[in-house]
Amino acid sequence: MIELRTDGDIAILTMRHGKANALDSEFCEALAARFVDLRNAEAKAVVLTAQGRIFSAGVDLKRLSAGGADYVRAFLPSLHKLYDAVFFYPKPVVMAINGHTMAGGAVLAACGDRRIMAREAGRIGVTEMLVGVPFPALAFEVVRFAVPPRHLAEFTLTGATYPTDAALTKGWIDEVVAPADLMTRALEAANFYASLSPLAFAQTKSQIRQSVSERVALSGAATDKAVTAIWTHKASLDRVAAYVAKTLSKA
């Protein structure tokens, strides 16, 4: 599912979970475990990228539709665990976004400290409203944290996705580079962060992200209870099934 290699002080994680790196329970658990393990590793920074032409297509909707409400109840805590492990990882995380990055995959990308995308490699955005499900608490707070406030409603309510240059202008990503230069630039960024004081970086990162911690602690449980109820509602599952039949089954 996930390949780990090192380049000097940098750990490079490459997602290799099918064609689309879709987020299912097992993949979320496995990727979260990698980040937990790397907390105590010698690597001073992490680059996260993916094989092929898709960084991540987001939640595995085919699996979700097939599994129904019982699968949803088991899956959502695994999704939370993934975002928690990556977003609050104390060392630097650079996202080398190689292709399409949708919905939960875009949230995953937003967990990084630096988001670098290959030019014209794909689109990025959160499509949850088009599917018919709301954002879990931490997922929403990650997006709120990562994108400019003036675009938050547009991003979360419309389900719009953006090509690389528009994504850069609107703040979904921090840099756009030629596809051939993606890993070189990601490693440059990671090595810069790795050259900084680890203790100072971790403390500053914690302070920067404190608002997310506080919001999730204050209202996350209540939000996730409401979100789970909507995700498992028959009307929502029917919308997901219709979306899968219309959009994904043709792929």
| Domains of the chain, residue spans | 2-179
CA atoms within 13 A on the CB side of 18: 13
Fold of 2-179: 2-enoyl-CoA Hydratase; Chain A, domain 1 (3.90.226)
What are the tokens at 114? 């630096």
Do 114 and 48 contact (CB within 8 A), yes or no? no
Do 194 and 45 contact (CB within 8 A), yes or no? yes
pLDDT class of 249 with cuts at 50, 70, 90: low
What is the pTM for the complete model shown? 0.96
Residue 247 has a pLDDT of 83
Element housing 192 (H / E): helix 182-194
pLDDT tens for residues 151-190? 999 999 999 999 999 999 999 999 999 999 999 999 999 9
pLDDT tens for residues 75-116? 999 999 999 999 999 999 999 999 999 999 999 999 999 999
- Beta-bridged to residue 96, according to DSSP, are 116
